[in-house]
Amino acid sequence: MMRKKFMAKEERKKDVGVSKLDSLPITTVVGNDMSFKGDIHGDGIVRIDGKVEGNISSKQGIILGEKADVEGFLESDNIIIFGHIKGSVKSKELILKTTGSVQGDIVSDFLEVEMGSKYDGTLKIGQREVYNDGKQSKVKGATEQQEAGRTK
């Protein structure tokens, strides 16, 4: 299976490797027959297989299963998307699987995209300074410098 990997220049020197989510216990699950409205916050690993309307933030990781349908903002160190998200995604490491789709902006240090996945939005690699209220925001750092250089 063909995969495309993107990462910030400073991250290329490190061995980022495969997501650590497979080896850690899942602490929260929204099953495929469940629908949830509201925000989810935590430190463990969250797995979503159902429908969620709200923002999800979890320190260790977020997994969206194939039947997951999320409308909101995702933020975690590690995210794997098999399902659908309509909203922004912010992570250190993001893997967009063949069945996954993102309709929104992505800000991540490392991105792996499998062939067949779908993505519609803007992409910022290595610039995670986005505020956490689920709204699109101005990404700071190198992007501002690049924009300033273009306007001169």
The pLDDT tens digits of the residues spanning 9-29 come to 444 434 333 456 777 789 899
Please tell me the distance from the alpha carbon of residue 59 to that of residue 52, in angstroms, as a whole number: 18
The token duo for 38 is 């509201």
Q: Which amino acid is at 101?
A: S
DSSP character string of 5-30: EEE-HHHHTS---S-GGGGS---EEE
Residue 7 sits at φ, ψ, to 5 deg, of -155, 155
Residue 19, C-beta contacts closer than 8 angstroms, at least 6 positions apart: 61, 78, 80, 93, 95
Q: Considering the chain, what percentage of its residues have pLDDT values greater than 90?
A: 64
Among 93, 90, 101, 107, which residue's Cα sits nearest to residue 141? 107
The token duo for 121 is 């939005």
Q: Considering the chain, what percentage of its residues have pLDDT values greater than 70?
A: 70
pTM: 0.74
Q: Where are the alpha helices (DSSP H) in 33-130?
A: none
Give the pLDDT confidence score for residue 128 in this predicted structure.
56
The token duo for 131 is 């505020």
